[in-house]
Each structure stands twice: as C-alpha cells, then as structure tokens.
Amino acid sequence: MNYLPLFTALPLLGAFLIPLLSKIWERLSDIISNVITTLLLILSVYSLFLLPIFGKVYVYEIGKWAIKPIPLGIVFTFDNLSLLMVLVINLLSFACSLYSITYLDNYTARWKFWTLFLLMVAGLNGVAITGDLFNLFVFIEISAISSYALVAFGVEKEDLEASFKYQIIGEIAGLTILLAIALIYAKTSTLNMADIANTFAKESKGPLFWFIISLLTFGFLIKSALFPFHFWLPDAHSQAPAPISAMLSGIFIKVVGVYALSRLIFNIFGLNRLNASHYFNLLLILGIFSIVIAGFIALKQENYKRLLAYSTISQVGYIFVGLGLANFWSITGALSLIFAHALGKGLLFLTAGPVEKEAGSLDIHLLSNFKKRMSFYGIVYTLGALSLAGIPPFLGFFPKIFLILGAIKGKRFEVAIILGIFSLLTLAYLLKITNKVFTKKEGEEVKGVSSIVISFLFLVFLIFILGLFYLNYLEPNLISKATEAVISGVEYARLVLIK
C-alpha cells in the first residue's frame, strides 16, 4: 500500500498541472481532474480490499523517516476509519467532478474551479490519512482555503458575503486548532499523533488537558457546524456552486469536523464514556439541539439550497448524537450516517444545479410556479430525500437503526424517541421541495443533461445498492471495522507504533 501519498499527491499534481495545461486547451482541465478523481476512486476502492491484508493500520513513513524509536518523521496512517473517509471523499468527488463537466458551462473560469476543487480534494484526503498533528492542521487549511475561494466562485454579492463570513468564522476555528496544537506540543514535545496518545496516556488529566480538549472541540465544532456554531454554514453552502455545496455539505464538514474530532478525542486523548461522560453528554446535548433547531428552521426555509443547508446542520446533529452516545452501535450509526449523508445530501445539492439553470432561481415559491416539468430531477431528488429521512430500503435507513439501537443500549430512551420522531421533521422539510417544486403533471418536460445525469444515476445507484447490501457487506467489511477503530481508543497508538 505504498501508494498512500498518492491520495494527496495526485490531486495536488493535478492542481498544479491544470493552470499550465489549460492554456493549451481549456477542456483539458476537465479531463485531467476527472481522470484524477477516477484514479482516486479506484485507489480507495482498491484499498478497501487491500487494507485487511496489512492488518488494521498501515503506516507510511514519508521520506523513510522511521518512526521508531523516536517518532520524528511525518507519517501517513491508514486505518479502517481513514479508509471509510477516503472512500466517501472519493466517491463524492468523483460524482461531483463528473457533474461539473456540464455544470461548468455556466461559468467562465473553468481551470480555476478545477484547481481549487482538486486542492480541496487533496486537503480532504490528507486530513483523512495523516498521522501527524500539524499536518492535519495544514491539510485542514488547504481544503478550507480552497473552499473559501470556491464559495465565492460566483462572485455575486451574496457569494462574497457568504465567503467572507465563512472565512472569518472558519479561520477562528483554524486558529483555535492551531493554538491547541501548540499547547499539545508544549505538553508533549511531539507531533506524531500516536506518540501524543502514548504521552497523554501516562499523564493525569489536569485542567490544561481539558483546556486543550475544549479548544479542539470548539474548533472542530465550528468546522462541523454544530449548533450554536453553525452560522456560517447556511450562507456558505447555499451560495457555493452546486457541486461545491455538495462537496462541502457531503464530506467537507464531516472530514474536517467530525472525522478529525473523533480521531483526536477517541484515538489520541483516549476519551470514552467511562472517563469523560460529561464531555460526551455535551456532544449529545448539542447534537440534539442541532437536530431540533435546525430541523425547525429548515421547515420554514424558502430557498432550495438554504433548506438543504439547514438540513445538513440537523443531520450533523444526528452524527454528534451518535458520537455523544459513544457506544459501538451509536458510533456505527454515526459513521454510516456520514456515508449515507454524504451520498444523499450530495445528490440533493447536485439537483439544485440543473434546477437553478432551468428556472433561473432557487426560491421555492418561484419554483412552484415554474411552468416546466422536471420529473427526472424530481425522482432523483425524492429518492435522495427518502434516503436521508431514513426510509428503507435506501442507505439512509441503516444509520437510523444503529443510532436508535445505540440510544437504547445506552439506556437513553428519550434520545431514541427524539431521534425517531425528528426524522419525521427531516422528511417533512425535504419533501417540501418535492411537493412544491417537482410535483407537477402538466408542462413541457425538461431534458436531462449528459454528465449530470450520469453522476445522478451513479449516486442513486449507490444509495440503492449500498442500502441493499448494507447489512451483508458494507457494515461488516467497512463500517463496523471503522467503528472498532474508533471505539478501541488509544489502541490506535499501539498499532501505529508497533511498526
């Protein structure tokens, strides 16, 4: 598995090649980026089969700087959790880059988009596979900066406003994370995550420890837009171009926020419900607040993408409830929700593109009076919405099972009921669009456009087929292993350092 650096190297390479080569022929940028995302997808699927051969963790030492006996070199660690994230990132980035081929006809600066897009993919992949704390920060910033730029890509009034607000809040998070890293370094004098874990395991958990945790939590909660740190998200996600909204909502907040946080608190700091129940209760309560409040706000939204953005906040709440319950089932639920939500919400945001192009607006009220019929997009949207609301047999149903099961097993019966009942709210606000925009019988039918249609079909196929094979294949081979990686805590450090 020594191709591991390719996950970041390939998109970075693409990002540097594209400005040069697109001078020759602008369409070349499409080809390069699509080839790269396809390669990444192939690599990540290949890793799915390859990783079990290498055991639970594969460690790649950059520049052959051995991490033993002194962990000085920078490493990439690739365990099952990283595998899950890489797989999700590359599935969705594949779909989005495919989609963007036709979508970008609306915009002028093709190659700029592709450069930023690949930078973001590189950053996200880097976050998922890195084993070094500072590298984590760097990758977060790479993806974040490119996302700031991409949100402002349309250069309209609202785009710039959203981007500015997003940047300020996002960078505060970034700085907080940097501060926390500085503190960690001050405390441990190492940046290797496994080594940090070992060091913290030996020490008692004083106020400084908790201060670091709070800073990290603060930073990553902003990144993952949990209530009350969500304010940037509805603006940014609703103003970005459709594929970028899909990427941001589908994977960005999860990789940069949820993944990084859970990697740190579970694997590095070794927190679990036994030694830090108040911490997890905090996550749980914020998660529930997110679910409820963002759900109700989404119900009243009048803008297609803004509604979906609020829905994302609500769904992140579900993920955090899963993390907050912190038992095997709930974390399985949270991780599978990351998977399901990435595909589902990505699909929903992608449908916004052709709709906006056809109707010239995303205002639901205007769309409901739009004269043409968009049955294909309507069906795609509805399937995605049903999956997100947790209706079988789609993929989104299984996270719900595991989250509720986790709540029951965690003796949090009220949480189980809340999770169940508020998925009704999810259904209600998502179907609001189906009902108002797509439920028409008369009018001229809008024709689908080629690469957009293919990406839709790809995602719908995934949602459906993964839903069918969830319990038989996906759960035992991918998600429960990833859950084990999370739940086993500082076992991660031992596995990394044994190499």
Q: List the interface residues with another protein, window 230-289 (CB under 8 A).
A: 231-232, 234-235, 238-239, 278-279, 282
**Any idea how long the chain is?**
499
Among 272, 423, 455, 483, binds another protein (CB under 8 A): 423
Binding mask 163-202 for another protein (x = CB under 8 A): xxx-xxx-xx-xxx-xx--x--xx--x-x-----------
Region label for 489, one of left (φ > 0), alpha (ψ between -120 and 50) or beta (otherwise)? left
Helix, coil or strand: residue 241: coil
Q: How far is the CB of 231 from another protein (least distance, A)?
A: 4
Kindly report each contact of residues 329-332 with a partner whose C-beta sits within 8 Å and lies 24 or more positions away, as own/partner: 329/402, 329/403, 329/405, 329/406, 329/409, 330/402, 330/403, 330/405, 330/406, 330/407, 330/409, 330/410, 331/406, 331/483, 331/486, 331/487, 332/402, 332/406, 332/475, 332/479, 332/480, 332/483
Tell me how many residues contact another protein (CB under 8 A): 93
Among 56, 112, 273, 409, binds another protein (CB under 8 A): 409
Interface positions, 353-372, toward another protein (CB under 8 A):
none
Amino acid making up residue 41: L
Phi and psi at residue 107, to the nearest 5°: -110, 165
Among 17-25, 99-107, 356-364, 469-477, the segment contacting another protein (CB under 8 A): 469-477
> What's the rounded Cα separation, in Å, for the pair 212 and 217?
8
Kindly report each contact of residues 352-358 with a partner whose C-beta sits within 8 Å and lies 24 or more positions away, as own/partner: 352/242, 352/245, 352/304, 352/305, 352/308, 353/99, 353/103, 353/241, 353/242, 353/243, 353/452, 354/446, 354/448, 354/449, 354/452, 355/304, 355/437, 356/242, 356/304, 357/106, 358/446
Cβ proximity to another protein: between 52 and 476 the closer is 476
Among 435, 445, 447, 498, binds another protein (CB under 8 A): 435
Q: How far is the CB of 392 from another protein (least distance, A)?
A: 4
Among 14-22, 44-52, 152-160, 485-493, the segment contacting another protein (CB under 8 A): 152-160
Residues 417, 420, 426, 429, CA torsion sign:
negative
Among 45-53, 357-365, 382-390, 486-494, the segment contacting another protein (CB under 8 A): 382-390
Among 20-28, 93-101, 160-168, 250-258, the segment contacting another protein (CB under 8 A): 160-168
Cβ proximity to another protein: between 162 and 242 the closer is 162
Cβ proximity to another protein: between 465 and 471 the closer is 471
Q: How far is the CB of 441 from another protein (least distance, A)?
A: 5
Interface positions, 294-333, toward another protein (CB under 8 A):
296-301, 329
Q: How far is the CB of 453 from another protein (least distance, A)?
A: 19
Among 211, 275, 360, 443, binds another protein (CB under 8 A): 211
DSSP characters over 411-422: T-HHHHHHHHHH
Cβ proximity to another protein: between 94 and 398 the closer is 398
> What's the rounded Cα separation, in Å, for the pair 152 and 134?
27
Cβ proximity to another protein: between 35 and 471 the closer is 471
Among 64, 157, 202, 371, binds another protein (CB under 8 A): 157
Cβ proximity to another protein: between 19 and 476 the closer is 476
Q: How far is the CB of 390 from another protein (least distance, A)?
A: 8
> What's the rounded Cα separation, in Å, for the pair 20 and 13?
11
Q: Is 402 in the site for another protein (CB under 8 A)?
A: yes
CA angle 83, 219, 235 (to 5 degrees): 90
